[in-house]
Amino acid sequence: MNIIMPQLGETVLEGTVANWYKKVGDLVQADENLFDVETDKVTSEIPSPLTGIVTEILVVKGTTVKVGTVLAIVVAEGSVAAAKPTTSHAPAVAASPAVTAVIDAGEDKRALVRPVDGAARLSPVVRRLLGENGLSADQINGTGNNNRVTREDVLAYLARPAPTVAEPPTVATASAQSQATPPVQTPAPAAAVSVGKDDLVLPLNKIRRATGSHMIRSLATSPHAVQAVEVNFHAVDKARNAIGKEWKEREGYSLTYLPFIARAVCEAIGKYPYINSSFGNDELIVHKRVHLGIAVDVNFDGLLATVMRDAHHRNLRGLAAEINRLATAARKGQIKQDELSGGTYTISNSGSFGTLFSTSIINQPQAAILSTDGVHKKPVVIEGPDGDVIAIRPIGILAQSFDHRAFDGAYSASFLRYLKEILETRNWVNEL
């Protein structure tokens, strides 16, 4: 049976074989992990579809291939002798070139594998990093097999010190001026880092590397501006207090503020649609559907922006369930590639840590991101028919970072004002 590169998501066209759990001649059980596939930020374990003997491995570890490429052949146990090919074996694909499988539709034989030159040698992650930063692989010295450019090579290139212009020599006379050499660009020396004997030096994991590269690019791309509103969560707390205990017992997780905020965001976007937009090639793309990103901390090892598709079609219960499912999958390493891409607006929630005010970095190519912070009891002035009174209320801050190219402060402020109004005045008990 041909073992092919699976399609791990609608937008995934290729993957990198990150690891083989078996070698040629090994017995593999059905549903036992056979190999790992790596895409951007996600590594997935792929099980064997049958019990049998691995007779051939056609694509070696570290190679990037298109979806559908035959990676290996597993022959059902007891059929190995009958399945031995009569023709000569094609050698396994080296890690340096990527491959494309060509399969004869009339015969059930192993794939004929053809090396591909150029950009196809690069993994999807490397090509994305190069494209996002306007780089060519020719600019970077590759350290992979056969000098292949790896993700670490690109990140190291991006992290190099910026070049500085040397001061021109002092000109004393016209003759000296004519002989003066033009300024040259020399790289600034990297600051030396002293490592003590008790210091711990940790290599960055792939998620943190990818996150760091994305954040640097976002700050360099978008003119960030930030606005914030203070929200009285008294109406939300009425609903949480009314059903919170029952909810926890029935659903197995707490009913937090986040689903209420997500519900209000989706409604406010309906009135201010430019908030739900992304940048293309010198154009602003206003999305009709809200694919809501929810940033998830992965046990302090990095940040993943999970994506909830068509969030505007979900009710409060549906939002709460999907937020919990995505967060759980991300922290367990079970998130799918499609659940990390295609977002149109993102919420970064630090509220569970008790923060007061956060300024989030925009998740490119989106136009805005909302940060939600801790909700704290504070004395506030309540306007009533008999005058103002002071009461204790749960207060939190919602801050929006937005790309000033997409819209101006008045538009962002109007969105935040309407978002605040929804959260403070809605009868949320009826939504549950």
- In sequence order, what are the residues at sequence separation of 6 or more whose Cβ sits closer than 8 angstroms to the Cβ of residue 255? 240, 243, 244, 247, 248, 320
Q: Which of 31, 301, 310, 408 is catalytic?
A: 408
Q: Is residue 287 annotated as part of the catalytic site, yes or no? A: no
C-alpha 168/C-alpha 261 separation (Å) is: 57
Torsion sign across C-alpha atoms 217, 333, 337, 314: negative
Q: Which of 31, 301, 310, 404 is catalytic?
A: 404
Q: Omega of the bond prior to 365 within 30 degrees of 0, cis? A: yes
Q: Is residue 104 annotated as part of the catalytic site, yes or no? A: no
Torsion sign across C-alpha atoms 227, 230, 234, 237: positive
> Is residue 430 within 8 Å of residue 291, measured between CB atoms?
no
> Is residue 145 within 8 Å of residue 153, measured between CB atoms?
no
- The separation between CA 58 and the C-alpha centre of its own chain, rounded to angstroms, equals 30
C-alpha 157/C-alpha 140 separation (Å) is: 7
Catalytically annotated residues: 404, 408
